Amino acid sequence: MADDLPKIAIWDPDEMSILVARGTAAGELLREVEAILTIDLGAPASAGDRLVCFCGTLVELPGELATLVAVDASCESV
């Protein structure tokens, strides 16, 4: 996570990572990261809240982000 990014998430090909703006809502984050994976990197469409890499493997979110996404998903199902 980073402070003061111009977007929610930014693909950094030099680092093989995606920088995420601190404080972003989990739902927005998932949509933005999925767009980077599918549009920019050519990954297949993700199933539900599972993100898929362009090589076909599941993308694992780092601990803090995975927790945010899990909490957000549980709030949306209520």
Please give the C-alpha separations between residue 60 and each of 6, 27, 39, 47, in angstroms, as whole numbers: 24, 16, 19, 14
The verdict on pTM exceeding 0.95 is no
pLDDT tens figures, 42-73: 888 876 667 888 788 888 877 777 776 666 55
- Residue 16 CB neighbours (<10 A): 7
21: helix, strand or coil: strand
